[in-house]
Structure 1
Amino acid sequence: MESQNYKNHRKFYPPHHFIYLPLLMILEIFGIYKIFNDESHELIWILFSVVVFLIFYLAIMMRQHYALGLQDRMVRLEFKQRYFEIFQLRSDEVESKLTFDQIAALRFTYDDEFKELLYKALHENISGDEIKRSIKKWKADHRRI
């Protein structure tokens, strides 16, 4: 498996991203094409296109909404656990000062860099993307959604 880093850390689900969604896009383009080229059934093709668009939209939103909502909760729990393991303190106050983007970016660090980048996030308010770009030794996460 390829070593994970900033440039390749995004994840795709092939059946969803490369089969189902492209197929829906093709059906949508076909429906729009038929609206203009089959005037005798124009209303049916408009309805077809609207239904395909709604299925497409719902497929994207529902998959993302459930998976990302759960993943966000897990990321916060991981942060709390890790913070406690490193500092032997509750993280409630620290967590409230960080954005979710910063917390999520800190997941990709090992403990020594975690301390350094957490300090920068709290005192210099660096963004999650800046945290990711600052990581010297990337801690891969191959199990995320």
Structure 2
Amino acid sequence: MGKQNYKNHRKFYPPHHFIYLPLLLILEGIGIYNIWNDSENKLSWILFSIVIFLILYLAIMVRQHYALGNQNRIVRLEFRQRYFEIFNKRSDEVCEKLKFDQIAALRFADDDEFKELLYKALNDQISGDQIKRSIKNWRPDHHRI
């Protein structure tokens, strides 16, 4: 696996992103196409398209909801632990001032940059994306969902 950085830090789950979802999109396209071109079975194709759309919607939303909700909790916990290890004090007040995208972005910074970027996040209100773009020594996270 190559060195992780801003440009390649996103992660995909190939069976879901490149097989299951495209297959559902193709089936949805077939259903919509046949609604207009198969007048004998139009009602069947409408029902088919609705069912495929609902399966597609549920596949995207349920997977994302559970995985991201759990991941967000872990990212917050990791931030609290790291803050305690670096500053030797609780992070309650700091966590209340930061948005989640800032907390998530800070996990990619090494310890020296973490301090500097945390200060900028608190005082200059830089966004999570700005934090990620400012990181010079990227700390990879290969265990994300």
| Counterpart mapping for 1:1-145 below 5 A | 1-145=1-145
Q: By how many angstroms is 1:37 displaced?
A: 1.1
Q: For 2:33 and 2:105, locate their aligned partners in 1 and report how far apart those are by CA, in whole Å.
A: 43
Q: For 2:135 and 2:32, locate their aligned partners in 1 and report how far apart those are by CA, in whole Å.
A: 46
Q: For 1:2 and 1:41, locate their aligned partners in 2 and report how far apart those are by CA, in whole Å.
A: 51
Q: By how many angstroms is 1:2 displaced?
A: 0.7
Q: For 1:119 and 1:141, locate their aligned partners in 2 and report how far apart those are by CA, in whole Å.
A: 22
User: Kindly, what percent of the aligned residue pairs are identical?
Assistant: 76
Give the TM-score normalised by the residue count of structure 2.
0.99
Q: For 1:55 and 1:115, locate their aligned partners in 2 and report how far apart those are by CA, in whole Å.
A: 45
How many residue pairs get matched?
Answer: 145
Q: Which amino acid aligns with 2:79?
A: F
Q: By how many angstroms is 1:8 displaced?
A: 0.5
Q: For 1:28 and 1:97, locate their aligned partners in 2 and report how far apart those are by CA, in whole Å.
A: 44
Tell me the SS of whatever aligns to 1:80.
helix
Q: Which amino acid aligns with 2:16?
A: H
Tell me the SS of whatever aligns to 1:2.
coil
Q: Which moved more, 1:22-31 or 1:32-41?
A: 32-41
Q: By how many angstroms is 1:30 displaced?
A: 0.3
| Superposed CA RMSD | 0.4
Q: For 1:32 and 1:131, locate their aligned partners in 2 and report how far apart those are by CA, in whole Å.
A: 43
Q: For 1:100 and 1:107, locate their aligned partners in 2 and report how far apart those are by CA, in whole Å.
A: 11
Q: For 1:7 and 1:18, locate their aligned partners in 2 and report how far apart those are by CA, in whole Å.
A: 20
Q: Which amino acid aligns with 1:92?
A: D
Q: For 1:32 and 1:125, locate their aligned partners in 2 and report how far apart those are by CA, in whole Å.
A: 46
Q: By how many angstroms is 1:97 displaced?
A: 0.2
Q: By how many angstroms is 1:72 displaced?
A: 0.1
Give the TM-score normalised by the residue count of structure 1.
0.99
User: Unaligned regions of 5+ residues in structure 1, if any?
Assistant: none
